[in-house]
Chain A
Amino acid sequence: MIVVDQVSKYYGAHRAVTDLSFEIAAGECVGFLGLNGAGKSTTLRLLACLSLPTSGTIRVRGLDVVENPHEIRKLIGYLPDTPPLYGEMTVDEFLAHAGALRGLSGADLGKRKQRVIEQCNLRDVAGTTISTLSHGYRQRVGIAQAIIHGPALVILDEPIQGLDPVQIVEMRKLIGELRGEHTILLSTHILTEIERTCDRILMMHRGRIAAVGTEQELEARLRASEKLELSVRGDASALQAALAGVAGASELTIQAPQADNAEGVVRATLRVDSADIAEAVSRAVVAANLGLLALHPVRSGLENVFLELSGAAGTSLAPPPSAQG
C-alpha cells in the first residue's frame, strides 16, 4: 500500500525527518509514536501530499506522491491535528461539502453521509452548527470528513489530542471499527493509546525511525530497558560482585558519590530484563553483607524509551539483549 524509501524533509536548514524507509501493507493500522517534534506530523503530511520530500520517494499504491498527487488525494482521507471544520456550517452540510469535494454526488453522497454519521455517532448533532460542538464531537466530525469518500488510506494526526477519558474510549472504539475497512495511519505521543489501537507501532525520535514492531515486540524492547535503582551501604566493588550472579541483571552503573557522602552509601542503577527480579537483587545484596537502604524500579518514561531506542535508528527490532551476570 505505502512504500517510503530514504525520505528526508528539510525546512530550510532544519531537518524535520531523515532517511525514513518503511512499508505499510493494505488494511494495516499503524501508529506513529513519538515526542513532540519527533517528525510524526511531517511524515503524515508527506504521505497526505501536503509536503514535498526533499529527497527519497513515497509511493502509495504504486503511485509517486510527487508525480501523481491528484490521483493519490482520491485515495486518502486526512485529519490534521486541528480538524479542518467550517464553524458556520451544520455537521450535515459540512459532510455533504467534504463528500462533494472528494467526488461524491447525488444518492451516493447521501448514502455515504448517512453511513459516516452512523459510524462516527453523529446522528444527534447532524443538524447542529459546528462552532457549537464540543471538542470530542469536532474530532468525530473531523474523522467523518476523512472517511466520507471511503478512502483506501486514512491518516489521523493526533486524533485523541485534547479528548477527555470518556471521549478517548469512544475514539478508540471508532478507530477500532475503521480497522479492516481502511489502511489507517495515526500519530500520538501517548504510548498506551497506540498499544490498544494499532497493529504495528513505528517509533520516531528526532526525525528518524527509532523502532518498528508490533506491541509485543516493542514491549520486549521496553522491558530490556527497565532499570532498578539501589542505595547500598558498603563498597561499590562488593556490590558489583554481589550482583554479577543475579540472572536478568545486565549493567550496573555506579553514580558518582556526592561530596557530602561521608556515610559510605553507594547509589547505583542496574539494568534488568524485568523489574520482577528485584527480590533476587535484594537477596544478593543482603547475602554479600551489604546494607540495602533502598531498592525501587525506575519505570522507563516515554522520553527515556525514545532516547534509548534512538541509537537503533532504522533497524528492525532485535531480540532483547541477553542477561549478563
Chain B
Amino acid sequence: MRNVAIIVRRELAGYFRTPSGYLIAAATLLVQGLMFNTRALGGGQKLSAQVLQDFLRDSSGTTTVAAVLLAMRLFAEERQAGTIVLLYTSPVREAQIVIGKFLSAFAVLAIITLLSLYLPALIFVHGKVSIGHIAGGYAGLLCVGAATLSLGVLGSALARTQLVAGVIAAVLIFVLFLTWQLSRVVEPPLGTVLSHLSLYEKHFFPFMRGLIQLSDLVYYAAVVYLALLAATRVVQHQRWQ
C-alpha cells in the first residue's frame, strides 16, 4: 500500500506540475458546459429530471474522453522519456505500479467530474431534481470513468507512444460501446451476453435515472479489475524486455 501511495503522489505531481492536468480539466469542463446549455437545456420544454438525464448522458461521453486523455500518458510517456527504468529497477510490484497509476488518474478524473456539479445545480434555478438523482448520476459517471480509465491504462501499458495508447483505449471502449448495438441484431443467448457487456446503455442508463444497482456496480468493477489485471501482466512482461 505504501508503494501505491508513493506512485500516486508522484503521478499527481505529474498532472498538476505540467499543463496536461489543467488542460484536460479545462477542456472537459468547457465542453460539458457547452453541451449542458445547448443539448440538455435546449430542445424545447423538458422536465428537470429529463434535463439532468440528458446532461448525464453527454457527460458520460466527456468523462470517457477525459479518462482516455488522462490515462494515455501513464506508461507511454514514461517509456518515451526513459523514466520507466526508475520504477522497473525499484523493489515495487507490477500490480502496485499499475494500481498507483490508475488511482492517481482516477483521483484527477474524480476532481474534474465533481467540478462539473455546478451544472446540475443550475437546474434548481428554474426546476427541481432530487439530490439522490444527481448523486446516482455522478456515481455512474465515476463508474464509467473508472472503467474507461482502466482500459486507458491497459492501452498505455501496451503502447510505445501516447498516441497509440489513446488509439488502443479508444478501440477497446468503442468495442464495449458497440456491444449494445450488436446485441440488437444477434439472437439470444449471444445477444443477451453482448447486451450485458455494454459499457453505456445497459449499465450506465440506470445511473442516469438515479438508480444504483448492484449488477451495474459489479460490471464496472469487473471491467476495472480485468483491465488492470491485463495491464499488470503487460507490465510484468515489459519489465524484463
Contact = CB atoms under 8 A, between A and B. Distances in A.
Are A and B subunits of one complex? yes
Contact of B18 (A70, A88, A97, A105): A88
Interface string A101-138: 11101000000000000000000000000000000000
A295 interface: no
Q: Which one of A48, A78, A100 has the greatest number of beta carbons of chain B within 10 Å?
A: A100
Classify chain B: how many residues form its interface, as a range.
Answer: 20 to 34
Give the secondary structure class of A's interface: loop
B83 A101 contact: no
Contacts, number: 63
A78 B90 CA distance: 9
Contact of A101 (B3, B82, B241): B3
Contacts of A101: 3, 6, 86-87, 90-92
A50 B89 contact: yes
B86 A145 contact: yes
B91 A48 contact: no
Interface string A37-73: 0000000000011111000000000000000001101
Nearest to A81: B82
Contact of A50 (B3, B93, B239): B239
A44 B123 CA distance: 62
Q: Which one of B3, B13, B91, B93 has the greatest number of beta carbons of chain A within 10 Å?
A: B91
B238 to A, nearest CB: 10
Nearest to B89: A78
B17 interface: yes
Contacts of B6: 97, 100-101
A10 interface: no
Contacts of A71: 91
Contact of B89 (A49, A86, A89): A49
A209 interface: no
Q: Which one of A84, A89, A93 has the greatest number of beta carbons of chain B within 10 Å?
A: A84
Interface of B: 2-3, 6, 9-10, 13-14, 17-18, 81-93, 239-241
25 contacts: A49-B89, A50-B85, A50-B89, A50-B241, A70-B91, A73-B89, A73-B90, A78-B89, A80-B85, A82-B82, A84-B82, A84-B83, A85-B83, A87-B81, A88-B13, A88-B14, A88-B17, A89-B13, A89-B17, A97-B9, A98-B86, A98-B90, A101-B86, A101-B90, A101-B92
